[in-house]
Amino acid sequence: MASITLKNVVKRYGSGKTANQVINDVSAEILTGEFVVIVGPSGCGKSTLLRMVAGLEEISSGEISIGGRVVNNLEPSERDIAMVFQNYALYPHMSVFENMAYGLKIAKVPLEEIKTRVDKAAKILEIGPFLQRKPRELSGGQRQRVAMGRAIVRHPKVFLFDEPLSNLDAKLRAQTRIEIQKLHRELGITSLFVTHDQVEAMTLAQRMIVINLGAVEQFGTPEEVYNRPATTFVASFIGSPPMNLLQNAPGAKAGTITGVRPEHLDITDSGWALHVETVEMLGAERLVYGRWTHGSGDELVILRTEEGHFVPAIGSTIHVTPRADKIHYFDASTGKRKETP
C-alpha cells in the first residue's frame, strides 16, 4: 500500500497560444489504504488525471508521488500500480486462469506462486468455477471480476479504476459496487476510481474529488460534498435530482444564489407558491416539479416527497418552505459557497 500525492499537476496539449490545457493545477493527497473516487462530467479531465498517475500520459508540469517516490519520469511498469479498464482488456484466446496469470508469468513469478495468487483472487471474487473458461463464455460482470482479479494477483501498491462499471447494466453495476467495496475492505489497497456516475461516487468513496473543466471543485467525504457543497457546480452535479439553485430567493442579498435540496422543501400552508407542472413516481418517492413565479421572473423548483405523503395534482398550486438549517448560499459571480445570505 502507498499514498498518492498530486502537487500542482498540469496537463496541456500543444504549446503557445494554441495550447489546450485539460488539467489545471490539481493538488491532492490520497492517504495510504484510502479509496478515493474522481468524479465529474464527461470531458472534464478525470480519466486524463488517472492516466497521468498510471504513467500512460505525460505530465506537463507538477509532481506525482506514489509511496513518497516521485514517479513523473517512471514507466507504468515501474510504478507498482495495477489498472482496471472500462473494456476489461482480456485476451479472448486465453482462459480466465491464463488471463489472470499472464502478467505474473511475464514477470517470471514461479508457477506455484502464480497458482496460489490466482486461486486466492478467484476465491475472493467468486470466480473459481470459471478459471478454465474463455472470456466469451462469461457475462459482463464476470469479465469485470476477471479484470479485477488480474490486478489483484500483482499485489500492487495502488489500484487505478477507469470507469470499470460503464459497460454493465444497472443491476450488475449495483452488484459489482458491493463487490468492489468488499474487495477494498479485505485488501486495503490504496485505490483511485474514476467515474461520471455520482451514485458510484457517493456509494464507493471514502473521499471524493469533484472535477470540472480540469480543476478540483471540492475534495471531501461524500457527506461533506453532499451536505456542504463548495460551489454551485458541486451543488448541481452531486445529488439526483440536483439542488435547487434560485437567483432571487426571499431574504438573500443581490448577487447571492440560494440553494436547497428537493428533500429539504416542505409543503406548507404558506411560503413559495409553486404551479405544479409534472409529478414523477419513483417507487418509494415522488418528485414534484413546480414553477415559482416572482417579481424577477420564474424558476423551476423540484420537491421530493416520500411514499404516502400528499401528492399534488398537476396544474394545482402548492406552497413550500425550505428548512432553515438546510439552506445554502453561493456567490453569483464566482459560484463559491457563502456562509451567510
What CATH number should be reported for the domain holding residue 50?
3.40.50.300
Q: Are residues 66 and 199 in the same domain?
A: yes
The greatest distance separating any two alpha carbons of the chain, rounded to the nearest whole angstrom, comes to: 76
Q: How confident is the model at residue 134 (pLDDT cuts 50, 70, 90)?
A: very high
Q: Are residues 227 and 245 in the same domain?
A: no
Across the chain, mean pLDDT equals 92
Helices and strands (H and E) in the chain: how many: 8, 19
Last residue of a domain, one of 185, 215, 233: 233
Q: Are residues 188 and 249 in the same domain?
A: no
Q: Are residues 44 and 169 in the same domain?
A: yes
Tracing cell 396544474 back to the chain, one arrives at 315
Total domains present in the chain: 2
The mean per-residue pLDDT over the stretch 160-173 comes to 87
Q: Are residues 213 and 255 in the same domain?
A: no
**Percentage of residues of the chain with pLDDT beyond 70:** 100
Q: Are residues 263 and 210 in the same domain?
A: no
The mean per-residue pLDDT over the stretch 95-122 comes to 93
Q: What domain range is 206 assigned to?
A: 4-233
Q: Are residues 324 and 245 in the same domain?
A: yes
Do residues 218 and 211 touch, judged by C-beta distance below 8 A?
A: no
Q: Are residues 221 and 249 in the same domain?
A: no
Last residue of a domain, one of 233, 254, 287: 233
Residue 251 has pLDDT above 80, yes or no: no
pLDDT at 231: 98
CA within 13 Å, CB half, 161: 32
Q: Are residues 45 and 170 in the same domain?
A: yes
Q: How confident is the model at residue 309 (pLDDT cuts 50, 70, 90)?
A: confident
Q: Are residues 226 and 247 in the same domain?
A: no
pTM reported for the whole predicted model: 0.90
Do residues 87 and 162 touch, judged by C-beta distance below 8 A?
A: no
Instruction: Give the CATH number for residue 289.
Output: 2.40.50.140
Q: CA 243 → CA 226, 257, 259, 329, distances in Å?
A: 10, 11, 6, 12
Q: Hey, which residues does 310 pair with through a beta bridge?
A: none
Q: Are residues 166 and 259 in the same domain?
A: no
Q: Are residues 309 and 210 in the same domain?
A: no
Q: How confident is the model at residue 333 (pLDDT cuts 50, 70, 90)?
A: very high
- Which strand (E) or helix (H) includes residue 292? strand 285-294
Last residue of a domain, one of 182, 198, 233: 233
Residue 102 has pLDDT above 80, yes or no: yes
The per-residue pLDDT for range 46-84, each reduced to its tens digit, is: 999 999 999 999 999 999 999 999 999 999 989 999 999
The 10 Å CB-count burial string (b at 16+, else e) for 224-247 is ebbeebbbbbbbbbbbebbbbbbe
